[in-house]
Amino acid sequence: QVQLVESGGGLVQAGDSLSLSCAASGRILERGAMGWFRQAPGKEREFVAAINWSEYTPYADSVRGRFTISRDHTASSVALQMNGLKPEDTAIYYCAANTRGTAISLARYYEYWGRGTQVTVSS
Per-residue model confidence as pLDDT tens digits over 81-111 = 999 999 999 999 999 999 999 899 999 999 9
57-59-63 Cα angle (round to 5): 140
Does residue 56 come out as left (phi exceeding 0), alpha (psi in the -120 to 50 range) or beta?
A: beta
| pLDDT on residue 74 | 86
CA 119 to chain centre: 12
Q: Which residues make Cβ contacts (< 8 Å) with residue 42, sequence separation at least 6?
A: none
pLDDT tens readout for residues 29-79: 999 999 999 999 999 999 999 999 999 999 999 999 999 999 988 889 999
Which residues are paired to 33 by β-bridges? 52, 98
pLDDT exceeds 90 at position 25: yes
Label the pairing between strands 117-122 and 10-13: parallel
| pLDDT on residue 56 | 95
| pLDDT on residue 45 | 97
